[in-house]
Chain A
Amino acid sequence: MRPQDILLPVAAGLYCKPGGFHIDPVRPVERAVITHGHSDHARAGHGAVLATQETLDMMRLRYGENFAGSTQAIRYGEEIRLGDVRVKFHPAGHVLGSAQIAVTCKDTCIVASGDYKDAPDPTCTPFELVPCDVFITEATFGLPVFRHGDAADEVRKLLASVALFPERAHLVGAYSLGKAQRVIALLRAAGYDAPIYLHGAMETITHYYQGRGIDLGELRPVKGVKKTALAGTITLAPPSATSDLWTRRFPDPVTAFASGWMRVRARARQRGVELPLVISDHADWDGLTATIAATGAGEIWVTHGQEDALVHWCRSKGLKAQPLDLVGYGDEEESETPIQGEAEA
């Protein structure tokens, strides 16, 4: 069976005809299988949704109870049958509950990896390598200039800045699902035990992480705290808030941003970032290429990001490779939707 008879890119997303479902559809569909809870992958309005319990919970927090007609939770390692295919979920190491989806039809296995990273992250289950015939990879950081170092070093940089400017507030822009909790966990691991302040849009999802047993120490809402009391503190906020009117409540804030994009100076400067922190939810160039090689797949489909470079690399290694033109994914920081009822924070 040809792989494209199993999975095919269509306007709504990646469609599995023999299984009768879409993976991470960007438009409402009858049956959706969802890799993880970021808003560009997990949208509301589908008939039936199959995802991990965490992903379903996050969708519920974001969109409300009626985000889908029906839901079904699946565990890592669990396999279920949908039409003529078998579907199995494996950890993707991207955020809490994120999964790669292995779709097997007869003897052909395709892994749709969603967004993934192979770097350690105390807030989610580590990435699992899944041998397959066709590997569908993201390419968010698919250029050899993207090599993310140890995230712990970046957090040390943040703490050094807090020590250097004790009279200023440090404002860390971080995507509210996954990145923010990882930064907090890294700060705790580095021995920072002061209260960490949260922008209102961060609270719900962060409390959900805590409810899943992830230790984040003492967290406080920043709303209502006096300006002078914020000197020397660290506050996490959605990236869009760090350049907004909202920042006027902080004493001479140092604007930091935790993102893989911070590797490139122009990207940091465009955003007016003073303290770029290279902390990424995605695999870097070395991670992407090492993973692709290790899956043993002979054919690679490359989705959102820098497809050209990664396709070129695959071909230079003798792998069959093609870009998948899927629209609607990527740059989740830009497309952040505030969680209900918290937009005023």
Chain B
Amino acid sequence: MNRFAELLDRLAYEPGRNNKLRLITGYFREVGDPDRGYALAALTGALSFKHAKPALIRDLIAARADEVLFGLSYDYVGDLSETVALMWPKAALAAHNNPPPPTLTEVVATLRNLGKTELPKQLERWLDELDETGRWALLKLVTGALRIGISARLAKTAAAALGDKDPHEVELIWPGLAPPYLDLFAWLEGRGEKPVNRDPAPFRPVMLAHAIEDGDFAALDPADYIAEWKWDGIRVQAVAGRDDRGHITARLYSRTGEDITGSFPDLLPSLRLPGAIDGELLILREGRVQSFNVLQQRLNRKVVSPKLIKEFPIHLRAYDLLGDDENDLRELPFAERREGLERFIKKLDDPRIDLSPTVPFTSWEALTAARADPASAGAGEDAEAVEGVMLKRRDAPYLPGRPKGQWWKWKRDPHIIDAVLMYAQRGHGKRSSYYSDYTFGVWTEGETGDELVPVGKAYFGFTDEELLQIDRFVRRNTTEKFGPVRHVVHESDKGLVLEVAFEGLQRSPRHKSGVAMRFPRISRLRWDKPPREADRLETLEKMLKAEPAEIDV
């Protein structure tokens, strides 16, 4: 457990992806089975035991420490697990009698079988046996809140690196594996056969597109491509398959392979034909696609209530077919898969799943016109939900990742505003000495005349050269410092105007300005523009369309 805790501790501070990978792979190499398998399970969120409630942890410390001292400490540290880990008194056991600290395997196995009433005593014993980092990791583990910035994908990539395998290979067999993954590690270390995925509805690594640039078109022949709308929803994979007994198992995956079936029970009955659809999750009301803002209100809900399902009816718009019953179609050219998809959707005949239409075109000029005005190019009343067009080579197989020259995305022009830089914060990793995170604002009428109100934060979009320029500006024009944040001069005639591009706007009661931007980035530095000429909040408010107020579910 202490070695696992050391890993978590180091990961929690390491900002760089490659260094995180090295730390995790190093751990897998150094630590044997089954501990490393349970570590992989913990990092991928695959451990299942009943989590301890924070109240239980509080009771444990209350029995051991002064209440006032605990209160002051908790205020200072700000994290319950960490406070308890740090102030847990040293065990009063005689030195020769000390049991060794538990291994991760012991902890996981014990937690699985432990009755609720036995948990407090067991936790106390472990807290006595572990060091501070060990206690911290244990408490994070038992309360189910690791939060150390490691995605499941990253942990699997680190495991794959152990055997120089492609992470996609691990992803493919993952649904058939279970902790402590003895078969997986045996294969990665060349001691065993590759495990077989027996999951009837496995995830298939997703194919992604490159953003097309103006200069790319000259080299492309329109006849080689099929175009379709790029819908502004959530890319998903809907998979149905038969298990050993012939029953249908259906699952919905996010584009990273996360199983999100539980959030969309209303789509499940529609996934009754064995096959794998690549498509976009949308909200349809009376046949019309709703904006991403509406869809967002269905996401990240703990409870999916009948009211939510009724008011936000879910829909799947199909782009591609990766599997049809037992047949893997991924090697086929896109044009053939598309025909298969059309047959599949027709056979399914379900109001919740439809085909994403293609956009007919013969020249790039024609497609440019369609992209500029989707409503008259076939998207009709759904045009508002069109984010741009997708170009897919007719002969492209379905390849995982972002292969060159196969798929292109051509987004509609983003919204642009001029905003004023207000605060800057240092970045992480390679950017840790640069002020690279910017909070910007627009003008609005305040109590004492015009004032700037923050409307967003951006940390990319600029070139390396521009980063140096902004960094220099921030250092020379700081008016106040709050820890890592610098307050940068922003007056009507002094300050830096940033041209900010963004994809959409949403009402947000959590922000002082009342609006939140989607995907904001710095598109240009306007050294030429005085701050007073930057945009006003009213401009943004006009962009907001009448959206229904957030419902209470």
Q: Is the CB of A255 within 8 A of B68?
A: no
Q: Is A147 an interface residue (CB 8 A)?
A: yes
A143-B73, A264-B76 known; A272-B432 Cβ under 8 A = yes
Q: Is the CB of B433 within 8 A of A247?
A: yes
Interface string of A207-242 (1 = CB under 8 A from B): 000000000000000000000000000000000000
A144-B65, A145-B77, A266-B78 known; A274-B72 Cβ under 8 A = no
> Residues of A contacting B78 with CB < 8 Å?
266
Q: Is the CB of A165 within 8 A of B13?
A: no
CB distance from A300 to the nearest CB of B (A): 16
> Residues of B contacting A268 with CB < 8 Å?
13
Contact among B23, B77, B426 with A266 in the assembled complex (CB-CB below 8 Å): B77
Q: Which of B26, B69, B426 has the most CB of A within 10 A?
A: B69
Binds A, one of B82-90, B214-222, B404-412: B82-90
Q: Is B464 an interface residue (CB 8 A)?
A: no
Q: Is the CB of B19 within 8 A of A144?
A: no
> Residues of B contacting A271 with CB < 8 Å?
484
CA A334 – CA B332 in complex, angstroms? 64
Query: Please, which residue of chain A has its CB at the minimum distance from the CB of B83?
Result: A145
Q: Is the CB of A252 within 8 A of B66?
A: no
Q: Is the CB of A145 within 8 A of B86?
A: yes
Q: Is the CB of B483 within 8 A of A270?
A: yes
> Residues of B contacting A244 with CB < 8 Å?
433
Q: Is the CB of A308 within 8 A of B433?
A: no
> Residues of B contacting A274 with CB < 8 Å?
13-15
> Residues of B contacting A2 with CB < 8 Å?
none
Interface string of A129-148 (1 = CB under 8 A from B): 00000000000000111110
Q: Is the CB of A266 within 8 A of B79?
A: yes
Q: Is B430 an interface residue (CB 8 A)?
A: yes
Q: Is the CB of B73 within 8 A of A309?
A: yes
> Residues of A contacting B432 with CB < 8 Å?
243, 247, 255, 272
CB distance from B149 to the nearest CB of A (A): 11
Count of residues in A whose CB is under 8 Å from the partner chain? 35
Q: Is the CB of B13 within 8 A of A270?
A: no
Contact among B13, B70, B86, B433 with A273 in the assembled complex (CB-CB below 8 Å): B13
> Residues of B contacting A316 with CB < 8 Å?
66
CA A261 – CA B23 in complex, angstroms? 24
Q: Is B211 an interface residue (CB 8 A)?
A: no
Interface string of B56-67 (1 = CB under 8 A from A): 000000000110
Q: Is B22 an interface residue (CB 8 A)?
A: yes
Q: Is B17 an interface residue (CB 8 A)?
A: no
Q: Is B428 an interface residue (CB 8 A)?
A: yes
> Residues of A contacting B23 with CB < 8 Å?
164
> Residues of B contacting A245 with CB < 8 Å?
433, 475
Q: Is the CB of B69 within 8 A of A312?
A: yes
> Residues of A contacting B65 with CB < 8 Å?
144
> Residues of A contacting B82 with CB < 8 Å?
264-265
A243-B432, A265-B82, A270-B483 known; A165-B19 Cβ under 8 A = yes
Q: Is the CB of B12 within 8 A of A313?
A: no
Q: Is A126 an interface residue (CB 8 A)?
A: no
Query: Please, which residue of chain B has its CB at the minimum distance from the CB of A247?
Result: B433
Q: Is the CB of A308 within 8 A of B72?
A: yes
Main secondary structure of the interface of B (DSSP, over half): helix
Q: Is the CB of B72 within 8 A of A306?
A: yes
Interface string of A167-188 (1 = CB under 8 A from B): 0000000000000000000000
Contact among A143, A147, A252, A275 with B76 in the assembled complex (CB-CB below 8 Å): A143
Q: Is the CB of A313 within 8 A of B13?
A: no
Q: Is A276 an interface residue (CB 8 A)?
A: yes
Contact among B26, B66, B132 with A164 in the assembled complex (CB-CB below 8 Å): B26
CA A246 – CA B432 in complex, angstroms? 12
CA A266 – CA B83 in complex, angstroms? 11
Q: Is the CB of B86 within 8 A of A309?
A: no
CB distance from A147 to the nearest CB of B (A): 7
CA A273 – CA B12 in complex, angstroms? 11
CA A268 – CA B483 in complex, angstroms? 12
CA A1 – CA B73 in complex, angstroms? 37
CB distance from B128 to the nearest CB of A (A): 15
Q: Is the CB of B484 within 8 A of A145?
A: no
Q: Is the CB of A248 within 8 A of B26?
A: no
CA A324 – CA B428 in complex, angstroms? 40
Q: Is the CB of A272 within 8 A of B76?
A: no
Q: Which of B66, B72, B78, B79 has the most CB of A within 10 A?
A: B72
Residues in B1-28 with C-beta less than 8 Å from chain A: 12-15, 19, 22-23, 26
> Residues of A contacting B475 with CB < 8 Å?
245
> Residues of B contacting A273 with CB < 8 Å?
13
Q: Is the CB of B26 within 8 A of A144?
A: no
CA A313 – CA B23 in complex, angstroms? 41
CA A275 – CA B15 in complex, angstroms? 11
Q: Is the CB of B73 within 8 A of A145?
A: yes
> Residues of A contacting B76 with CB < 8 Å?
143, 145, 264, 306
Q: Is the CB of B69 within 8 A of A313?
A: yes
CA A272 – CA B14 in complex, angstroms? 9
Q: Is the CB of B72 within 8 A of A143?
A: yes
Residues in B228-276 with C-beta less than 8 Å from chain A: none
CA A49 – CA B15 in complex, angstroms? 48
Q: Is the CB of B426 within 8 A of A243?
A: yes
Q: Is the CB of A275 within 8 A of B13?
A: yes
Q: Is A27 an interface residue (CB 8 A)?
A: no
> Residues of A contacting B14 with CB < 8 Å?
274
A147-B86, A247-B433, A309-B72 known; A272-B77 Cβ under 8 A = no
Query: Please, which residue of chain A has its CB at the minimum distance from the CB of B75?
Result: A143
CB distance from B30 to the nearest CB of A (A): 11
Q: Is the CB of B69 within 8 A of A248?
A: no
Q: Is the CB of B426 within 8 A of A272?
A: yes
Contact among B72, B79, B430 with A265 in the assembled complex (CB-CB below 8 Å): B79
Q: Is the CB of B72 within 8 A of A272?
A: no
Interface string of B188-220 (1 = CB under 8 A from A): 000000000000000000000000000000000
CA A268 – CA B426 in complex, angstroms? 14
CB distance from B7 to the nearest CB of A (A): 12
CA A142 – CA B23 in complex, angstroms? 34
Contact among A145, A149, A308, A313 with B87 in the assembled complex (CB-CB below 8 Å): A145
Q: Is the CB of B86 within 8 A of A276?
A: no
CB distance from A321 to the nearest CB of B (A): 13
Contact among B12, B13, B73, B426 with A144 in the assembled complex (CB-CB below 8 Å): B73
Q: 3 tightest A-B contacts by CB? A: A145-B86, A144-B87, A145-B73
B interface residues (Cβ-Cβ under 8 A, vs A): 12-15, 19, 22-23, 26, 65-66, 68-70, 72-73, 76-79, 82-83, 86-87, 132, 426, 428, 430, 432-433, 475, 483-484
22 contacts between A and B (CB under 8 A): A143-B69, A143-B73, A143-B76, A144-B70, A144-B73, A144-B86, A145-B76, A145-B77, A147-B132, A164-B22, A165-B19, A243-B426, A243-B484, A264-B76, A264-B77, A270-B484, A272-B428, A273-B13, A275-B13, A308-B72, A312-B66, A316-B66
Q: A246-B433, A276-B13, A309-B69 are in contact. List 19 more A-B contacts (CB 8 A).
A: A143-B72, A143-B87, A144-B70, A144-B73, A145-B83, A146-B86, A147-B86, A243-B426, A243-B433, A247-B432, A266-B78, A268-B13, A270-B484, A271-B484, A272-B428, A274-B15, A312-B66, A313-B69, A316-B66
